[in-house]
Structure 1
Amino acid sequence: MTTRPRRPHDSLLSRFRRSDRGAVAPLLGFMMLALIGCVGLGIDVGRSVLVKARLADALDAAGLAVGARLATTDFNADALKFVSANFKANYSGATVTNVTATPNASKSVITLTATATMPTAFIKLFGTKSVTVKASSEITRKTTGLELVLALDNTGSMSGSMTSLKNAANSLIDILFGSDTTATNLFIGLVPFSHTVNIGTSRSSWVNFVNSSKSNWKGCVMARSGGLDQTDDPPSSNTYKFTDYYYPNNGGSLYCPKEITPMTNVKATIKTAVGKMTADGNTHINLGAVWGWRMISPSWRNYWGTLAWNGTILPLNYETKNMNKAMVLMTDGDNTMSSSIYTAYGYLSEGNLGTRNAGSAETELDTRLTTVCGKIKAKGIVLYTIAFNNPAKATKSLLQSCATTTAYYFDAGDSTSLTAAFQTIAGSLSNLRVSK
């Protein structure tokens, strides 16, 4: 018997095939199949990990978006919309399902969950056709330091809408305070305005009495002359003091709105002040804006009281670390200066606005509002404006230009839109962060 010499090119695999000492070929096939399965499993698991990471990112983004939409009535629908926008369609063939967003009672924490089902590429050969991954996120709303003033139209045209305004303003207050009754870093003040502003009879030291006396003065003041109706100069001397507003032949209090409420960190105090507002008089939007500025201007420190934050009496300096300043200016009408109404600029016939023509006087009020808005924004105060109940197109344009950005201007044509505007502003003023 002749033995065939082993050739150098004989392979190990060839020897396995020729071997008659065991079932090597089936074993090799099983090993190859297992190897393919492991590789396939690794690839599909890796794909599922990427899908879960992408889903988690989309859920975080959706949570931040939903958290800023406090006026929503369907958190789940909003969450689904934003997850879909941030999760690339058909990413690894995955389909997103079961998106939920659940707020707590004060809407300060929103918990989100979602699942994504991904078809497998390799392990389907072993009977597993899809893999489901889950992701969750928690968004926490936290209001950092904020000095906020609400300058709200209390003119006669608001007489049928005061309840709507009060409800809308209170919704903002509720959102910002959350479940707190007293805040540590939130301060809100109120400036009800018509064609004058009521500083309160307790502040008679700010006033030079020309038209009345302290005993019968009701708290309203005239607009200062010489451009001082457009500045935040405090009444530190006779030059900068105000003149008492006293309506001729009517006991002095006609068209005098409710008293200003300085910034407070007590929820009940500011809500009570909102509840007392009444509607009467003509419209001087510029006075609401300038008095709102004076309430949060550091030049007025020690004029509004002794409320303090971190040892400093309010209002704080501009750009104080961890403290923001903002104003909401809302009106339902155009600036007006009619010949028969005595306002903070006197009678139209007195020419205190540089003209005795009603149209020209109203244009001058618009110009002064633009000036005040510019000065407010130059100080870094965030200015939101709301045009309620469809005032003239020119007034809407004026308010839009007054706002810090066009996104901070709201055209609220009805009561529902007004509440939504206040709630959106509240969301904008609250900081959001991903907590889980």
Structure 2
Amino acid sequence: MKRLWRLLRDRRGAVALMAGLSIIPLLTMAGAAIDLTRLYILHSRLVTAVDAAALAGARVINELDRDTQIQRWFWANFTRDRPGVSTGFIGADVTAFTISVDETSRAVRVRVRAALPTTVLRLFGQDALYASVDHTARRQDRGMEIALVLDVTGSMAGTAMTTLRNSATELVNIIYGPNETITNLWVSVVPYTSTVNIGRGRSNWLAAGSLNASAYGSTVWRGCVFARSQNRQDETDAPPTTTPFQPFLWPSTVNRYSPNLGDNEWTNSSITEPNPESPPSDTTQNNLGNNAKGPNLGCGRAILPLTAARSTVLNEIANLRATHRGGTMANLGLQMGWATISPRWRGLWGSATLPQNYDTPYMDKVLVLMTDGNNEWHDWDGGAPGACRSTGSSPPCRTIYVSDGDADMTAYGRRRENRLGLPNNTAAAALAEINARMSRLCTSIKANGVILYTITFNVTNSTTRDLYRNCATQPEYYFNSPDTAALQAAFREIAGQLANLRLVH
């Protein structure tokens, strides 16, 4: 009996038993700490991936492959093991992925649920932990004044012009979405060649007495103007009230080189100028090409000033046509693009309130400049080096072509006139001077807070590409497009960047 009593009073085995039993909750806590830490890491990555997916969806809310792009952005951030599986970051399995779009509020909602296999906790019957993220990105349209400055020179004829129209149209559609107008959004379209068309109805912008109607023969001044190159006014946003324009005129060269009509730029009886209000078809315009004549030779369509209606902007883009002769003076297109959004021109384009001030809250000013070539005077040789065509259908050329610097008429006149005031008036010196003026103009525009995007299309000249790269607000805002697909991609990327987004929780 005493031996039994001693055995019952012995506590040494109980301590060991209690110690063993206490390990179970400690292991459970340690396992929970490990797995919960992994769950926290998973949730953080899931938040990043869903945010990126929702923002990408809002950016492309109007595109047909929107949902595909949403999933692509999600998996790019959630790093799945391989395409086609649902297992991603740290072995988590995506068990639910839902996309919903509210067209009214222009919001994209992405909801994702992921299961994380446990390590220690599975020993205690908990096989998985779950993380869920539900985020919405709403496409917010900040107020913007956007100038599309587009090269419509003769080299853009054919497929290039079609691609440009399609690309600019897509940019506009992405920015507007399904809306005809958006509060505080305006777009201008500025076509340029070797000159820019301010519009026939703006003759009051011309210097007094400078428009000689009789000089245009049986037609009229279409609206193109000479560069205001005196004192480098072609590098400023000076309005016509400060520095008026001179009307562009390509004078006849009859008898200039020899007394036959083969040297004639135009005659009153054979003017082939298209109607600017009713642009010809691409085929008609392209067939005309360098054979066009007239006092407005090389003059493209008029500027469309800041406009709120999407349909009006799209109609203007649809009517763009390649315009031959003269050359390319992108600096003048850039200058007039700036003029459409510079507050110094407020009230001059037709609206008493536009363009707005640079520091207007929640407003951005954006200029997109596109070209397919170098700044240059075009020196056309009549289509056949060394000879003119027959007199009856002859385009402007000399009896025997001579490369003497007297190139086509541009907004700076003929190169031989040396309106740039060059000490050595060569083609290379003229190009360098135009590029220098354009570079300084880019600097002035950016100094006023305008966001500058630049695009070169099918341009191989490294000097030109560097000029446009340096002109852009930052290097990432310059796009070199070696082909039509790249040109479309450039406009699409710019449109996406212009769609200002804000995450809504």
TM-score bin (small chain) = 0.7 to 0.9
Residue in 2 that maps onto 1:354: 421
**Aligned-pair distance for 1:383?**
0.3
Q: Give the SS at the match of 1:306.
A: coil
Q: Does 1:306 align with 2:347?
A: no
Q: Does 1:247 align with 2:223?
A: no
**Aligned-pair distance for 1:371?**
1.1
Q: Give the SS at the match of 1:401.
A: helix
Q: Answer whether contact 2:96 2:114 (CA < 8 A) is retained.
A: no
Closer, same or farther: CA 255–386 of 1 in aligned 2, 3 Å: same
Distance in 2 (alpha carbons) for counterparts of 1:64 and 1:324: 20
Counterpart of 1:343 (choices 388, 405, 410) is: 410
Distance in 2 (alpha carbons) for counterparts of 1:189 and 1:96: 49
Residue in 1 that maps onto 2:403: none
Amino acid at match of 2:92: T
Distance in 1 (alpha carbons) for counterparts of 2:108 and 2:41: 25
Q: Answer whether contact 1:99 1:112 (CA < 8 A) is retained.
A: no
Residue in 2 that maps onto 1:407: 476
Closer, same or farther: CA 230–17 of 1 in aligned 2, 3 Å: closer
Residue in 1 that maps onto 2:150: 152
Counterpart of 2:485 (choices 409, 416, 424) is: 416
Q: Give the SS at the match of 2:147.
A: strand
Distance in 1 (alpha carbons) for counterparts of 2:173 and 2:146: 14
| Deviation digits for residues 251-286 of structure 1 (CA, Å, limit 9, x no counterpart) | 422111101000111101111111111111320010
| Deviation digits for residues 208-249 of structure 1 (CA, Å, limit 9, x no counterpart) | 253632982111111012211111111115xx1000012212
| Deviation digits for residues 379-429 of structure 1 (CA, Å, limit 9, x no counterpart) | 110100000112412111110010010000001111111111111111111
Amino acid at match of 2:410: T
Residue in 2 that maps onto 1:333: 373
**Aligned-pair distance for 1:197?**
0.5
Q: Does 1:48 align with 2:56?
A: no
Comparing 316-325 with 337-346, greater Cα deviation is found at 337-346
Q: Does 1:232 align with 2:223?
A: no
Amino acid at match of 1:212: N
Residue in 2 that maps onto 1:320: 360
Q: Answer whether contact 1:68 1:424 (CA < 8 A) is retained.
A: no
Distance in 2 (alpha carbons) for counterparts of 1:212 and 1:395: 37
Distance in 2 (alpha carbons) for counterparts of 1:220 and 1:105: 46
**Aligned-pair distance for 1:64?**
3.5
| Deviation digits for residues 97-148 of structure 1 (CA, Å, limit 9, x no counterpart) | 4796858598954333444442212221134433343323222221201111
Distance in 2 (alpha carbons) for counterparts of 1:117 and 1:173: 42
Distance in 1 (alpha carbons) for counterparts of 2:88 and 2:97: 20
Closer, same or farther: CA 191–93 of 1 in aligned 2, 3 Å: closer
Matches within 5 A, 1:160-309: 160=158, 161-208=160-207, 209-210=209-210, 212-213=212-213, 216-226=220-230, 227-237=232-242, 240-249=243-252, 250=266, 251-280=294-323, 281=325, 282-306=327-351
Amino acid at match of 1:302: G
Distance in 1 (alpha carbons) for counterparts of 2:438 and 2:332: 8
**Aligned-pair distance for 1:375?**
0.6
Distance in 2 (alpha carbons) for counterparts of 1:181 and 1:321: 23
Residue in 2 that maps onto 1:129: 127
Residue in 2 that maps onto 1:60: 51
**Aligned-pair distance for 1:179?**
1.3
**Aligned-pair distance for 1:61?**
3.6
Closer, same or farther: CA 390–69 of 1 in aligned 2, 3 Å: farther
Q: Answer whether contact 1:218 1:252 (CA < 8 A) is retained.
A: no
Q: Give the SS at the match of 1:111.
A: strand
Identity across the alignment (%): 35
Residue in 2 that maps onto 1:310: none
Residue in 2 that maps onto 1:21: none
Amino acid at match of 1:396: R
Q: Answer whether contact 1:229 1:290 (CA < 8 A) is retained.
A: yes
Aligned length: 415
Q: Give the SS at the match of 2:79.
A: helix
**Aligned-pair distance for 1:4?**
10
Comparing 183-192 with 122-131, greater Cα deviation is found at 122-131
Comparing 401-410 with 177-186, greater Cα deviation is found at 177-186
Counterpart of 2:78 (choices 83, 107, 114) is: 83
Stretches of structure 1 lacking an aligned partner (at least 5 in a row): 19-24, 308-312
Q: Give the SS at the match of 2:181.
A: coil
Q: Give the SS at the match of 1:418.
A: helix
| Deviation digits for residues 311-361 of structure 1 (CA, Å, limit 9, x no counterpart) | xx0111112111111100000000111333111111111111224422211
Distance in 2 (alpha carbons) for counterparts of 1:259 and 1:295: 12
Closer, same or farther: CA 217–332 of 1 in aligned 2, 3 Å: same
Stretches of structure 2 lacking an aligned partner (at least 5 in a row): 81-86, 253-265, 267-293, 380-405
Closer, same or farther: CA 220–166 of 1 in aligned 2, 3 Å: same
Q: Answer whether contact 2:171 2:495 (CA < 8 A) is retained.
A: yes
Closer, same or farther: CA 360–49 of 1 in aligned 2, 3 Å: closer
Closer, same or farther: CA 98–319 of 1 in aligned 2, 3 Å: farther
Residue in 2 that maps onto 1:385: 454
Distance in 1 (alpha carbons) for counterparts of 2:334 and 2:98: 38
Q: Answer whether contact 2:91 2:117 (CA < 8 A) is retained.
A: yes
Distance in 2 (alpha carbons) for counterparts of 1:100 and 1:369: 51
Distance in 2 (alpha carbons) for counterparts of 1:92 and 1:413: 38
Closer, same or farther: CA 46–257 of 1 in aligned 2, 3 Å: same
